[in-house]
Amino acid sequence: MGGFQVFKVFRNAVSATILIGLACWSACAAELENVISCKNGTDFVAASLKQANSKIVLTCADDATIFPAIDSKQFCKDAGCTQQDQLTQVGVSAGAASEVEVAGVSQKTDKLTLTLTENRTNSQTVYFQCIKPKKLREESGPTEQDSATKVACTIQLAIHGSAPASTPTEEKECKYGQSLHIILRPDSRKVTFRCQEDGVLSPTNFEQTFKGNTCSDEADKVNLTELVPSASLVEGRSSVSKDDLSTFSIRGYLDAYTLEVSGNLNTDTELCYKCIRTATDRLATEPDISNECKILITVSGKTTTPDQQGDEPQSGDSDVPTDQPNSDAPDET
């Protein structure tokens, strides 16, 4: 076979491979599964379902089981699982536990496969727990088994809606090396913000926040509702994402977070979140503030007067991010 013919055969084979790969891209991407595992020593993990037909597999450690029970096809509405609802209410289907053969006997593994069948309009958060029996306890006499269970790990799953929670002009971006200041007034109790690309939000648990304005001490993490009883934080699609859900792209798709508060507080309350760039020098021993950004949110209380409001940023709006790295002094508008 001549050199030119060999080249033609090779070129055609490469072209066919590329075409097959492109044809498979959208279909194969939908079939990709992420495995989220609550391993021993882990008490909290977070994940998300963003694209219709995307799947995620939840597993617990060997000595723990998923709650709510897999066959119930339910989820917890909060991390403490005080309320439950059907997964179909959030556009998610639950697959039956897979079966494996152990010593010739078919046994179910405690593995839950979730599929986002459709993107509902609004984003929501669902929770699951990995539970296991409490350890044996010693009492006067023989050892007794405590029938109660304990939560070994909590799984948080953000279900993205089809509609962004805000508009490009209203959504706030937290830029690395700067601080974003937001004031929520009594007449506007909702704001949507996002990290720059490659950023993740801390705390990852949406039911937590940092108390004060440092955003650095683990001891400052508290339950969000302890500071603002009616507050909630939800992750969804950013209004400035480069690609919509039908042409899903990891690099172009951005997450946004919506904090919403209802009711009034007696005094001003400060909340703090932090964006951390993931693509950083893993060998660095000290945190680099140029790879972080703080979101400082003040929820105004009843003590704020109309005259005071006129001298501060508008409700739900933020000051222009400060020019100095992580400066905590808000700019005046």
Quick one: 182 and 275 in the same domain? Answer: yes
Does residue 319 form part of some domain? no
Given 97, 126, 159, which residue is the final one in a domain? 159
| Chain position carrying tokens 């929670």 | 165
Does residue 325 form part of some domain? no
Does residue 40 form part of some domain? yes
Q: What's the pLDDT at 320?
A: 44
pTM for this predicted structure: 0.76
Does residue 224 form part of some domain? yes
CA-closest candidate to residue 155, choices 31, 52, 66: 66
Quick one: 144 and 178 in the same domain? Answer: no
Q: What's the pLDDT at 257?
A: 98
Count CB-CB contacts under 10 A for residue 298. 19
pLDDT in tens, 68-116: 999 999 999 999 999 999 999 999 999 865 554 445 555 556 789 999 9
Does residue 187 form part of some domain? yes
Quick one: 298 and 211 in the same domain? Answer: yes
Quick one: 199 and 135 in the same domain? Answer: no
Quick one: 200 and 271 in the same domain? Answer: yes
Full residue range of the structural domain in which residue 100 is found: 33-159
Q: What's the pLDDT at 290?
A: 84
User: How would residue 185 be classed by pLDDT, with cut points 50, 70 and 90?
Assistant: very high
CA-closest candidate to residue 298, choices 228, 233, 204: 228
pLDDT in tens, 213-252: 888 888 889 999 999 999 999 999 999 987 655 555 555 7
Q: What's the pLDDT at 17?
A: 39
Quick one: 177 and 284 in the same domain? Answer: yes
Does residue 16 form part of some domain? no
Residues 304 and 186 sit within 8 Å (Cβ to Cβ): yes
Does residue 275 form part of some domain? yes
Given 137, 159, 181, which residue is the final one in a domain? 159
pLDDT beyond 50 at 291: yes
Quick one: 149 and 179 in the same domain? Answer: no
Q: What's the pLDDT at 6?
A: 41
Average pLDDT over the chain, rounded to an integer: 78
**24 against 260, higher pLDDT:** 260
Quick one: 38 and 154 in the same domain? Answer: yes
CA-closest candidate to residue 220, choices 296, 145, 160, 164: 296
Q: What letter does residue 246 receive in the DSSP assignment?
A: G
Q: What's the pLDDT at 85?
A: 97
| Chain position carrying tokens 């996002």 | 194
| Chain position carrying tokens 């690309």 | 197
pLDDT beyond 60 at 34: yes
In terms of DSSP bridges, do strands 208-211 and 55-60 run parallel, antiparallel, or are they unpaired?
A: unpaired
Question: DSSP states of 263-303 as a string?
Answer: S--SS-EEEEEEEEESSS-TT-SS--GGGEEEEEEEE--TT
Quick one: 39 and 149 in the same domain? Answer: yes
pLDDT in tens, 247-288: 555 557 899 999 999 888 889 999 999 999 986 554 455 557
Q: What percent of the chain has pLDDT over 90?
A: 52
Given 114, 137, 159, which residue is the final one in a domain? 159
Counting the structural domains of the chain, the total is 2
Q: Output the domain CATH number for residue 244.
A: 2.60.40.1320
**264 against 124, higher pLDDT:** 124
Does residue 332 form part of some domain? no
Quick one: 101 and 194 in the same domain? Answer: no
CA–CA separation, 307 vs 231, rounded Å? 26
Quick one: 255 and 296 in the same domain? Answer: yes
Quick one: 48 and 146 in the same domain? Answer: yes
Q: What's the pLDDT at 323?
A: 45
pLDDT beyond 90 at 41: no
